[in-house]
Structure 1
Amino acid sequence: MNLEQARFNMVEQQIRTWEVLDQDVLDLLYLVPREEFVLPQHRSLAFSDIHIPLGEGECMWEPKMEARVLQELTVRKSTDRVLEVGTGSGYLTALLAHRAAHVYSVEVKPALAELGRRNLERHGAENITLEAGD
């Protein structure tokens, strides 16, 4: 699979058609590699317009939902702090970290908190505080 072509198709055929037109959001979707936040057995589905299972009865949102949320949030990198409830794989957390001064993320399921932590550490995000708990 050509990942760059798949990413391009996702942005052009799913994201833009859902009226996500903010260029900063679109640029982030190219910058943060979604496929690296998906479980290995589902990696071929990383750019599909579906919920992708994460385990623990949870799943990743469709790419268009993640993009739409980013577009609708008015977050300033210089000053804003974001509270995210439900870290999951950490993908949306990573996207938010590019737009906010700091992201605080809480995940109630320990296995998902660990998955998110590993993914975020691998990508070197330093402006994120991740907590496992309720």
Structure 2
Amino acid sequence: MSSEVLRAALQTAQRARARMIERLREQGIRDERVLAAMMAVPRQLFVEEALASRAYEDTALPLGLQQTISQPFVVARMIEILGAGRELGKTLEVGTGCGYQAAVLSHVATEVYSVERLRPLLDRARLNLRHLRLPNVRLKHADGSAGLKEAAPYDSIIVAAAAPKVPPALTEQLTEGGRLILPVGCGDQTLVLVERTSRGLRETRLNAVRFVPLLPGTE
């Protein structure tokens, strides 16, 4: 690809990303940290090459292996809720997928630990993230439903797959004042925010969502 063609492609992607940010504002995303992070990450690098032209549409896109990259609004919404009135701090992401959300988190969290149960998907995420050189992101092949005890506790935990119920292993790995956000449900799914307070756990049910299921084990 010539330098002129490459420059034109990058400019096109940047314009599409700017339009995505404006759409997120219209949809109610207000946290400027989140918007700046999503503007900084080239989403087209994380989708299948054949779908690159759709990278900035507000829709989930297939990654193969029965997995998807979440729609931009859902990514922004979940991170905004985690960071409302606070810093994200040390963050655990369950479900690395293609690595896109980890890249966004790297701009708003001090440390990002991301676990993925599917080795081929994790290998792809490593390739996707390699060019961005993000020093505060660490990836691990592990069963996300068990969290990542070796690096716990976490100030924030974000889960990119739907669990039948809130996994106790994840709430146990939260600091006091920490927050966990995840989709819950086997049929109808609801986004749930869990906060660890001095008096115990507090759950808040938010809006309806649609995610792939959170499965145990590794492959």
Normalising by structure 2, we get a TM-score of 0.57
2:95 and 2:76 map into 1 onto residues whose CA distance is: 17
Q: Which has the higher helix share?
A: 1
Higher relative contact order (CA 8 A, sep 6+): 1
SS in 2 for 1:99: coil
Aligned to 1:25: 34
Aligned to 1:83: 92
Aligned to 1:52: 61
How many angstroms does 1:5 deviate by? 2.0
Aligned to 1:92: 101
2:28 and 2:43 map into 1 onto residues whose CA distance is: 20
2:91 and 2:33 map into 1 onto residues whose CA distance is: 18
Let me know the Cα RMSD of the aligned residues: 1.5
**Structure label with greater radius of gyration:** 2
CA shift digits 1:36-61 (9 cap, x unpaired): 11121111110011111111100011
Q: Which has the higher strand share?
A: 2
Matched to 2:22, the amino acid is: E
Q: State how many pairs are aligned.
A: 131
Match of 1:12 among 22, 43, 63: 22
Unaligned runs of 5+ in 1: none
1:120 and 1:63 map into 2 onto residues whose CA distance is: 18
